[in-house]
Structure 1
Amino acid sequence: MERTVPHTASEEVELYLRTYYSLLRSSSDVQILTLEEAHSGMNSLLHPLARDEVPDMSAFLYSLLRLPDCIHQVRTVVMGQSLAVFVRGGYPDIESWHEVSAQARRRRCFFDGNNTLACVISSQSDIDDIVPNLTALQIEWEKLHNRIQFVPPNLDFDEAVRDPQKSQQVAEILRISLDDLERLRRVWGDQFSANLTHIRNFRPQFRIRLLNGSLSEYRRATHSWWDHIEAACPDLRSRPVYFVSSNTHSLVNLISGFALENRETLLHYLEKSDDLDLQTEWRDIQTSQVPSSQENFLYYLLKKYMQTPEGYGFRGVRREHEKSCGITRVDSEHYFDVDVQIIDLAKVRPAW
C-alpha cells in the first residue's frame, strides 16, 4: 500500500480513501484500528476533535445515528453488493438474521444476534459512509471508555440523568456538556444506562470486510430491483417515465399534503414527546423567531412520528391517502434499500 506524506487537506482526504480502499481489497478482515491515524489526519469538519482527549460528542452522535442501534454488540461489519455476493462470501442466510436500520441512514442491514452486521451496499458512497462513521465511533468510544472508568461503579446512569447534581457529576467526569449528555440520552432512550455500562466494560474492536463483487453483479442487482418495481406497476412498460433522484419524503410531501392534513395528530405527538428542542423550535416558528416554515417543520415531524411505535400504524393511513393523490409506494425487498414512489401525473390533486 502506498503511503505518502500529505501536504494539503485534499491530499489528507485522498490518503485516507487510498488507505481503506487498499486494505478492503484484501479477502480478510480490516481492523478499524489501522484506519484511525489516517482518519484523524483528515481534520474532518465532522470530526474536528478526533485527536483530542476530550470526547467529540457531535461526531459520536452523528456516527451513532448513521449506524444501526445494535452497533454496540457488533464486532465485524461485512459489506456486499447483493445477497448472491454474501452467499459466495460464506454468508448464505443473512435474510434470516434480524433486519436492522439506522435512524439517519437508509441501508439494508442484517444482524446475526451475536457480533456480525451485514450491510447491503448499493454504491461506493455506502462504503464512504460506513467506514468513516465506524472509525469515528471507535475513536470516540475509546475516549468515553477511558473517562467512564472514573465514574463511581455504584452510580446508576438512568438515575443520574434525573438528578441535576449527578448529571453534572457524570458530565464533568466524561468531559462533555450537560446538553450533550441529554442528547445522548434521547438518542439511546431506554438503552441509555445499558449502553454506557457496555462502553465502560468493553473497548471497541471493530473489523470490516468488503466481499468481492463486480460491475456485472451490481447490474444484476439493479435489474432485480427494477423487476420488483415493474411487478408492482406493470403499466410502467407502456408509459413514459421520468426518473427523479430525491429523498423519499420530498416530492410526496409537496404533492400529497398529508403532513399538513394531519397537523393536529402531529402536534399532539410533539406535545407528548420529550424532545424539548423540537418543542422550542415549534414555538419559535409560531412567533416568527426563526425563518423556518410551519410546512417544513410538519414534514420533518411526520418523519419522526413515523419512526415511533405509535406512528408506525399510521403508515397505512398515509399509503391510502397517497394513492388518492396518484402516488404508489413500492418498498424495496431483497436488494438495495431504495424505495420507490410512482407518481401518476394525471391523478395529482392540484389543490395541494
Structure 2
Amino acid sequence: MQDLTRAQKARMAIRSFKTIAHALALRGYYMPSEKMGQQLAECLISLSPEIYGSMNNPRITELKGLEYVVDRLPRGIEKCTRIILTEEEEIGDSTFEVVQPLKRRRTCYRISEKEFCFAVTRGLSEIYDILTHLTFLNIEARKIHARMTDEAGNITIEWNDLEKIVQRFRQSAVSLSGRELDQAIWNLSIILGRSYRETRQSYEHFERNKQLSKWKESFFSLIYHLGNTIAAKEGSREESLVIYFTPSLMNIIGHQRYGQQWADDIRATMTALGLQDRPVHVISANLHSTVNLLYGYAFKEADEDVKRLGLYDFIMKIRDESDQIRGFARDCGMCEIHDQSGSHIDCQIIDTDRLQGLPFHPELSIDPAGNPQKPVLLVMDYAFGAQAFEVMDCLLDPYSDNSHERPMPVASISIMGKAGILSGSKGDIMLATAHVIEGTSDNYIFQNDLTPEDFDDDIDIYVGPMVTVLGTSLQNRDMLRRFQSSWNTVGLEMEGGHYQRAISAAVIKGHIHRDVKVRYAYYASDNPLISGQTLAAGDMGDEGVRPTYMVTKAILEKIFKTSQHIEPVSHTLHEPPEKGGSGDARVPEDRHPSGRGLDEDLPPS
C-alpha cells in the first residue's frame, strides 16, 4: 500500500473534518467528549494547523493559539455545557444578552452562565470556524485538566493556589499586583508547562482585551474554568458539553436569505439616492481606507503641517480622527448602510460627482471631473469565507423595478484584503492571477486589471495564483507547500475564489458584461510557513498601514481613469466569445497554473 505524504494526510484530515462537521449538523448534536467529537479532534490533531502551534504537544498548553481562539469566541465560553448553533430569526427578538466576540463579527447570545447560542448568518465557513475553535479549546482544556492532579490523583499545590486566586477575585474583584501577581503567574506557568515570560505575556494579552471586551474574568479564571469544566464533565454526564444544531440552521445554508436581503437594502438605497443608472464600482475592503484617502486631505485642509507630510505619514496622522472624517464624508455625499440583514457586512455608497471641488493629497492621482461617467463607489466590508459567493451573487443579480428586471450597472469589482503569503513576508503585496479553492476541483483564471506597475517601486509584489482555504485553522505547512510547488500559489486567503465564482456565474447568466474589470490585491498579514509569523502572532498594527493604503490608492486610481460606457446587458452575453476576444481568460505563461486537479496528488483508492 502506498504511503501518504504529509501533505496528503493534511488534505485527508481536512476532508474528514468537513465530512464529520456536515454529518454532525445533519444529526443535530454532538458531545466533544464522545466518539464523534473525538473524531473531530483527531482530524485537527492530524492536520496540526500552524496557527495552533504546539497543540499536539501534550505537555504544554498552546498559549498563542488560545489567545487567537478566545478573542474570536464570546467571553465566558469556557464555562459552557450547552452551545446551540441556529439561525438569527430563531432568537433575534429575545431579551437574551448579546455578546460580540472581540475579533470576529458574529452574533452570540448568553442564555445563562452555562449556555450560549450562536446565530449563524455567514454560512458554512462560519460553522467550520466555530467548530475548529471549540475543538481546539477542548483539546487544550484536557491538557490543563491533566495538570490538575499528580500521579497519585491528588490535586496539586499549584492548582489549589489557582483556585484560591479565582475564588478571591470572585468575592472581592481585587486584582493582583507586585510580588503576589508574580507568584500567581509563576504557579500558573507550572500548570501550563510554559515559561514564566510566556505566561506573563498571555496574562498581559488577556488583561488588555479584558478592558476592550468589558469582561470581568481574568486569565487565571479562564484557565481554571477550562480545567475545572473537564473535571465536572468526567464526574457527571449531565455536565458534559453538548453542541446542538437546530433544524432551521441547515435549512437556510445555501438559500442566500441573508445575502438577498443585504443586496436588496443596497439597491433600495441607491434608488432612493437616484444613483441606480450610474456605473457602479464595487470594492470589497475595509471601511476606513477609501474614506480616509478621498476625504481626509480636505478634512485637514487648514492644517498646513499635516498637509506637507507624504501620503502614508499623512494617513498615520489622521488615523485617530476616522469618526470625524466619516462625518465630513457624509456631508460630502458619502452614504453609510448599516447592515440589517444579519450578514454583518456594512457598506458605503460614494457619489463621486460630489467629490468635485475637494482637494486630494498630491500623491493621489485622481480627478473626479475627468470621468464623465460620474461613477458610484460601493464599498462593502469584508465577507467571511464562502459567504463571499452568497453576497456577490445576490448583488450582481438583476432586481425588480416597476415589474421588470434591471441589471446592476457594474463597471468593475475590486477585492482587497489581508492574506497569508507563501514567498515573502509581512507587508508585501500579492496580485492574484487565479484562485484555486482548497478541497474541490474548482479553479478560476481571470485577467487582473492590477499590475506591479500600479504600485510603488520600493515594495515587494508577488504575482500568481492564490489558494482559497476553508478557514484560518484548517491548513498546515505541508499542505501549503504542496500548493506552492504544484500550483505556483503565492498566498492564501478565504474569499477570493468565492467572489470569482459569483462573478463568473453572473457573466454566464448574462447579469454583467464579460469585460467588467476585476482587481484582486492582498497585503500580507502573516506567513504561515514561518514559525512565529502566523496569525496567532498578533495583529500587524502600524506595519499594515502602508500596504493597505497603497492597495486602496491603486484601486481608486484605476477606477477614476476608467471611462468606459456601460451598455445594458441584454443580447450579447449569452453568445459564445470569439476566439481571442475579450471573453478569453488569460494569465502570463510563466504564472499559469499547472491545470491538474486538486485531488491528483492523492494515491488511487
| Alpha-carbon spacing, 1:168–1:194, altered in 2? closer, same or farther (3 Å) | closer
Q: List alignment gaps of at least 5 residues for structure 1.
A: 262-292, 303-313
Q: What is the aligned counterpart of 2:74 among 65, 68, 76?
A: 68
- Determine the structure 1 residue equivalent to 2:353: 346
Structure 2: distance between partners of 1:320 and 1:46: 38
Matches within 5 A, 1:31-180: 31-33=31-33, 34=37, 35-53=40-58, 54-80=60-86, 82-83=88-89, 86=90, 91=91, 93=92, 95-114=94-113, 115-147=115-147, 150-151=158-159, 152=161, 153-155=163-165, 158-159=175-176, 163-176=181-194, 177=198, 178-180=200-202
TM-score normalised according to structure 1 size: 0.70
Q: 1:216 to 1:195 in 2, by over 3 A?
A: closer
Name which one, 1 or 2, has greater alpha-carbon Rg. Answer: 2
SS of aligned partner of 2:101:
coil
How far did 1:191 drift? 1.9
Deviation (angstroms), 1:325: 4.6
Query: How far is the alpha carbon of 1:45 from its aligned partner?
Result: 0.7
State the 1:335 CA deviation.
Answer: 2.2
How many angstroms apart in 1 are the aligned matches of 2:329 and 2:70? 32
**What is the SS of the residue equivalent to 1:243?**
strand
Q: Who is 1:248 aligned against?
A: 287
- Superposition map of 1:301-340 within 5 A: 302=320, 317=324, 319-340=326-347
Question: AA paired with 1:213?
Answer: N
Q: CA contact under 8 A between 1:29 and 1:209: conserved in structure 2?
A: yes
Give 1:95 shift.
Answer: 4.7
Q: Which residue of 1 aligns with 2:250?
A: 212
Alpha-carbon separation, structure 2, partners of 1:187 and 1:125: 25
In the alignment, the residues of structure 1 paired with residue 42 and residue 73 of structure 2 have an alpha-carbon distance, to the nearest angstrom, of 21
Q: CA contact under 8 A between 2:85 and 2:243: conserved in structure 1?
A: no
Letter in structure 2 aligned against 1:251: T
Contact 1:78 1:209 in 2 (8 A): yes
When normalised by structure 2's length, the TM-score is 0.43
1:248 alignment partner AA: L
Whole-Å separation in 2 of the counterparts to 1:163 and 1:20: 42
Is the CA contact 1:60–1:137 (under 8 Å) kept in the aligned structure 2? yes
1:318/1:140 CA distance change after superposition, 3 Å: farther
- 1:223 paired to 2:233: no
* Percent of residue pairs identical: 21
Alpha-carbon separation, structure 2, partners of 1:75 and 1:249: 39
RMSD in angstroms over aligned alpha carbons?
3.4
Whichever structure has more strand as a proportion of its residues is: 2
Determine the C-alpha separation between the residues in 1 that align with 2:317 and 2:112.
Answer: 36
Gaps of at least 5 residues in structure 2 are 149-155, 170-174, 231-239, 301-311, 362-605
1:201 paired residue number: 228
**Equivalent residue for 2:19?**
18
Which structure features the higher share of helix residues? 1
How many pairs were matched up? 296
Q: CA deviation at 1:61?
A: 0.8
Q: 1:272 maps to what in 2? A: none
Deviations 1:68-104 (A, max 9, x none): 2242344443334552xx3xxxx5x555432221111
Note closer, same or farther for the CA distance 1:14–1:216 as it changes in structure 2 (3 Å cut).
Answer: closer
Q: Residues 351, 41 of structure 1: CA spacing in aligned structure 2 closer, same or farther, 3 A cutoff?
A: same
Is the Cα–Cα contact under 8 Å of residues 21 and 128 in structure 2 kept in the other structure?
no
Q: Aligned AA for 2:164? A: N
